Chain A
Amino acid sequence: MSDIRYTKDHEYIRIDGDLGTVGITDYAQKALGDVVFVELPQVGDAVAKGAQAAVVESVKAASEVYAPVAGDVTDVNATLEREPGAVNEDAAGKGWFFRIKIANAGDLNELMDEAAYKAFLATLE
């Protein structure tokens, strides 16, 4: 099982060595509703922790997606440009947004693990 961390803004990062795969959580996709457009960063972009890295739009509104950690973007899920609905269908899997080379492993310590995120969601109900 891979190590996944979460932000209070409902992004996840799945950690694989010094690479992380970033997306929005199932809670976030449900809250957004039908996703109709995703704007992704460019491969090679350097993003700061907490900075806007992508945009996700539902029929109703646009929301920013923030980078959970600092690093360089190594890959983006271009499929989302054609099939933004993948975010609703499988947010944790094929609905991923981008991959990032984690600059400071210490950034991860400030994120929630699965149990902490579940506890956080419980406070939002």
Chain B
Amino acid sequence: MSSAANDAASLRTALHALHVDLGARMAPFAGYDMPIQYTKGILSEHLHTRAQAGLFDVSHMGQAFLQGPNAIALLETLVPGDLQALKDYRIRYTQFLNPQGGILDDLMVTRLPNAGADERLFLVVNAACKEADFARLRAALPSLKLDVLSDQALIALQGPKAAQVLARFVPGVDTQTFMSWRQAQWQGVPLIITRSGYTGEDGYEISLPNAQAMAFAKELLAQSEVEPIGLGARDSLRLEAGLCLYGHDIDETTSPIEGALTWSISKRRRAEGGFPGAQRIQAEVANGPARVRVGILPEGRAPAREGTLITTQGGVEIGSVTSGGFGPSLNGPLAMGYVRADHAAIGTKLTLVVRGKPLPATVVALPFVPNKFYRG
């Protein structure tokens, strides 16, 4: 048996003591001491989320309001997402890009109603990137006010029972539109509720003050449908849903086009550019990228982990796996990775080199497990 050491973590979320009380196995993640799994384990937690509802502590992620005159057009100078097309209270997925068109982070942006001359946006960014993201925003957009919500927890409630559970505490939330933002109250506590998540299931992310987060999480966990879910199952759920994990499936070297995120860039923004790396993005849209992220289904039972070499059936190297493991709902191995564009078509036969052995695999459509988002 071998095991890998981890970096020390110094930061704790407002729910840290709850995780420990629930018997979580804690490990460092992006500088935070986070629950990897609870006593029932990753398989059970994953399947419970798909069948009922799972509660995730995602308070390590960065939350901020960005506000000021022309804030929407200004943020568009850093991301390729079409923020001008967003209606009030609607959310869009986009990416911070570097001048080479590589992805610095991926994020969710909500447009909020104007306050006088100020346009307002709400951002949620990745934990590992948040300090750099906020520093970049301050440096690049000095005319805007960035208000980082460092005293605010973020709880995700995900799964087919999430809506009926949350509606017990916040009436009406069950008919809230997918990818929308609203404010609400629970026992006088202000909540920000988005109907969103990263599991492929219906669900919510709920932002609330650290001081009340523990009480609210306990109320949710007291509901018979809800179990606590760790980062281990969060990873297997998002992989089955075909969603990228920053730093693995996308990073500073991969463009959104290579990352199969072209859908997140509108026609207007593709045509107009005006974001970092636009030249590369426009060239890749026009000519196709040299490599592209695909779903990969290994034959047999052996998982192909991150870093696994991908070759043609003839043994020519064409890429590598960026996320790979076992899908509990799929009940088998699954992977995502980058392959040369001429081997990216659905149905293409590939070879995965696992521990020196060639294993047959096939390029498949993403997601691996159908999304079940709320469509009204």
Contacts and interface: CB of A to CB of B under 8 A. Distances in A.
Interface of A: 9-11, 24, 28, 31-34, 36-37, 39, 55-66, 81
Contacts of B217: none
Contact of A62 (B36, B42, B44, B305): B305
A39 to B, nearest CB: 7
18 contacts: A10-B1, A11-B1, A24-B1, A31-B1, A31-B3, A34-B42, A34-B43, A36-B326, A57-B303, A59-B43, A59-B46, A59-B236, A59-B326, A60-B235, A61-B4, A62-B303, A66-B1, A81-B301
B328 interface: yes
The 3 A-B pairs of least Cβ separation, nearest first, read A34-B43, A36-B326, A59-B42
A37 B302 contact: yes
Given A34-B43, A36-B326, A37-B333, A61 B305 contact: yes
Interface in B302-354: 302-303, 305, 325-326, 328, 333
B2 interface: yes
Given A34-B44, A63-B2, 4 more contacts: A36-B301, A59-B328, A62-B303, A62-B305
B41 interface: yes
B232 A55 contact: no
Contact of A39 (B44, B302, B325, B328): B302
B41 A34 contact: yes
Contacts of B375: none
Contacts of A56: 1
Interface residues of B, number: 24
B2 A64 contact: yes
Nearest to B333: A37
Contacts of A34: 41-44
Given A59-B43, A59-B46, A60-B42, A36 B1 contact: no
Contact of A65 (B1, B46, B326): B1
Interface in B227-246: 232-233, 235-236
A36 B2 contact: no
A9 B303 contact: no
B22 to A, nearest CB: 16
Nearest to B4: A61
B67 interface: no
Contact of A9 (B2, B36, B43): B2
Contacts of B328: 59
B369 to A, nearest CB: 15
Contacts of A36: 43, 301, 303, 326
Contacts of B303: 36-37, 57, 62
B362 interface: no
Contacts of B235: 60
B3 A60 contact: no
A118 to B, nearest CB: 17
Nearest to B331: A36
A56 to B, nearest CB: 8
Interface in B34-70: 36-37, 41-44, 46
Contacts of A10: 1
Interface string B191-219: 00000000000000000000000000000
A37 B354 CA distance: 13
A60 B25 CA distance: 13
Contacts of B3: 31, 63
B1 A64 contact: yes
Contact of A33 (B41, B301, B333): B41
Contacts of A32: 1
Contacts of B233: 59
A98 to B, nearest CB: 15
